[in-house]
Amino acid sequence: ALGGASLLAALVAGFFLSRRLTRPILELSDAARRVGAGDLTVTLEPRSDDEVGALTRVFNRMTSELATSRERLARAERLAAWQQIARRVAHEIKNPLFPIQMSIETLKKSYDKQHPKLDEIVEESTRTVLAEVRALNRIVTEFSDFARLPTLQRAPVAPRTVLAHVASLYAQPAGQVSLRPDLPEALPEILADREQLSRALINLVKNALEAAPEVTVTLGAEAGTHEGVAGVWLEVEDDGPGMPEEVKAQVFTPYFTTKAQGTGLGLAIVERITSEHGGAVDIRSAPGQGTTVALFIPQA
């Protein structure tokens, strides 16, 4: 009996000792999983001064250092992003300012000398200044739009009506922008902000038309899926010059552009609008083979 009691006491003592040792280990394991998932606010209370307690303190210090490093990195990335934006804004604004300055200087010199063709110079200079002011306004508008897109107002939308609306905006010259002849009459409704989705499609059409003067653009759609989600792919296809792989890889990057004049925000806005719809963007292009950009929007 005495031996049985001793065995029982040993088992009970072993059980509590095991719990005392394993609980901190399990807590550390759980905390490590949370840190791995990105939660760097995790802290543990050391329960002892032994090796497990020391390990807990090391874990807390490591987590704190990781949090500090992440914040430092985030600040550096924000600073780099703002520096890039500042350079781009300065570059874009500087372009229109130069002809404005030249026009005003020419106008002043002509006025001071009472140039015989002063009226013509005034008219030409005014035309130049107004054109460049419009360019400045466009630049400011694009930067503002990218920084502050309105909250989506989503509702069930028929894809064909959105595409038809966009095509109608480019009715002249006839045939340059049109609906695909085999566009299905019946497509699933999508859950979308009609105005914002139209804007994304318009940006794609404008980008295609600016790529080459004689380009034709076709708008299409087909039901499909993306990562297991049902929806509709809206396509903007052009027969323009296409683009090489290195350009295609960057076209949706903010401020990237191959144009002499342009903010590089038009396609970035397209991707942002699509992403906020819970959708995706796919682009197919090659030099001499045109470009097709497809936007996936989940169905209603």
Per-residue pLDDT at 137 exceeds 60: yes
Give the domain ranges of the chain: 1-148, 155-298
pLDDT digits (tens, 9 = 90+) for 88-97: 666 667 777 8
pLDDT digits (tens, 9 = 90+) for 83-117: 666 666 666 677 778 788 888 888 888 888 888 88
Q: Which pair of tokens denotes residue 261?
A: 């004049």
8/123: higher pLDDT? 123
pLDDT digits (tens, 9 = 90+) for 242-262: 888 888 888 877 767 766 666
- Per DSSP, 228 falls in state T
pTM of the model: 0.57
Per-residue pLDDT at 10 exceeds 60: no
What is the average pLDDT across 212-224? 90
pLDDT range class, residue 159, cuts 50, 70, 90: very high
| Cβ partners under 8 Å of residue 233, min gap 6 | 221, 222, 223, 224, 282, 294, 295, 296
pLDDT range class, residue 132, cuts 50, 70, 90: confident
Q: Which pair of tokens denotes residue 25?
A: 């280990």
Report in angstroms the alpha-carbon separations of 58 from 28, 33, 42, 51, 63: 11, 16, 13, 10, 9
User: What whole-number distance in Å separates Cα of residue 223 and Cα of residue 294?
Assistant: 12
**How buried is 192 (Cβ within 10 angstroms: 0-12 exposed, 13-18 middle, 19+ buried)?**
buried
CATH value of 155-298 in 2.40.30.170, 3.30.470.30, 3.30.565.10, 3.40.50.880: 3.30.565.10
The helix, strand and coil proportions of the chain, stated in percent and rounded to the nearest 5, come to 55, 15, 30
